């Protein structure tokens, strides 16, 4: 801010009735009498100057000093410190808003350097967003893959269980069938035709029923019958 702007800012502050321009840093008695100043308000921190430890020492001794409470971040020193600390951010932000290098009192080279840095930061932000989206997509694919594997495992277990239930009934008659056909030769006999009712045709047969029916329709030849057939 320029000196004129600082004066104007003070005129718009609350409780300010008059602003004295070109006031000295060290207040002399003649200056206080000229402007009819009864009290000087300032924070109680000693302000050192050349040849003096505190420029307000004589005013404090005269009982004309009114101490004020210092507000953090409001004093001029704090404002300047914050501006200097974030100067680069301040310049970059105002260049993006349309201020020229001349208005910001920076060189042409510095302006282009900041412009390139802004472009690089923009690209980095976009790449970061793409990386986050990629991670999210990979996470979704992993979840879908795990879900598919779980479903496949569940279906495979169900298939194996159905297979066992379907053929398990026939496996329990395996030993009986082997024992029935191993003692001698088996001559097939034409099964007798039987008239079956419509209910029997439509109703399914269990594996145990089919095995028993097949055993009844086979004739087992003994050794004596086999010798008689050879003699004849």
Structure tokens at 105: 């009192």
Confidence of residue 204 (pLDDT cuts 50, 70, 90): low
With the C-alpha atoms ordered 56, 57, 60, 62, is the resulting torsion angle positive or negative? Answer: negative
Enumerate domains of the chain plus CATH numbers: 3-71 (3.40.50.620), 177-191+204-231 (no CATH)
For the whole prediction, is pTM greater than 0.75? no
pLDDT digits (tens, 9 = 90+) for 108-157: 888 888 888 888 888 888 888 887 877 788 778 887 787 887 777 777 77
Please report, rounded to a whole number, the percentage of residues in the chain having pLDDT higher than 90.
Answer: 5
| Higher per-residue confidence, 204 vs 153 | 153
What pLDDT does residue 133 have?
79
Confidence of residue 64 (pLDDT cuts 50, 70, 90): very high
pLDDT reading at 164 higher than 70: no
N- to C-terminal Cα separation, the chain: 137
3-state secondary structure 83-137: HHHCHHHHHHHHHHCCCCCCCCCCCHHHHHHHHHHHHHHHHHHHHHHHHHHHHHH
User: Could you please report the per-residue DSSP string of 31-55?
Assistant: HHHHTT---EEEESS---BTTBS-T
What pLDDT does residue 206 have?
55
Q: What is the mean pLDDT of residues 67-88?
A: 78
From residue 206, alpha-carbon distances to 22, 110, 141, 166, 191 in Å are 116, 93, 46, 10, 19
Confidence of residue 223 (pLDDT cuts 50, 70, 90): low
pLDDT digits (tens, 9 = 90+) for 172-203: 555 565 555 555 544 444 444 444 444 444 45
What pLDDT does residue 231 have?
58
């Amino acid at each position: 801010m320029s000196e004129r702007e600082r004066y104007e800012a003070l005129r718009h502050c609350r409780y300010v009735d008059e602003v004295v321009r070109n006031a000295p840093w060290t207040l002399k008695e003649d200056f206080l009498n000229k402007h009819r100043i009864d009290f000087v308000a300032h924070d109680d921190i000693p302000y050192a100057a050349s040849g003096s430890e505190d420029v307000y020492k004589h005013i404090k001794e005269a009982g004309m000093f009114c101490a004020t409470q210092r507000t953090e971040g409001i004093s001029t020193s704090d404002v300047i410190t914050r501006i200097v600390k974030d100067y680069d951010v301040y310049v970059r932000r105002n260049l993006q808003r349309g201020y020229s290098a001349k208005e910001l009192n920076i060189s042409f080279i510095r302006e282009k350097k900041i412009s390139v840095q802004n472009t690089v930061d923009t690209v980095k932000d976009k790449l970061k967003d793409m990386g986050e989206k990629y991670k999210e997509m990979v996470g979704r694919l992993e979840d879908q893959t795990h879900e598919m594997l779980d479903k496949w495992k569940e279906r495979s277990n169900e298939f194996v269980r159905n297979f066992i239930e379907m053929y398990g009934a026939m496996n329990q008659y395996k030993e009986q069938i082997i024992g029935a056909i191993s003692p001698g030769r088996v001559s097939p006999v034409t099964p007798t035709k039987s008239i079956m009712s419509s209910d029997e045709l439509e109703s399914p047969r269990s594996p145990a029923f089919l095995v028993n029916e097949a055993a009844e329709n086979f004739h087992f030849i003994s050794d004596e019958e086999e010798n008689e057939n050879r003699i004849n």
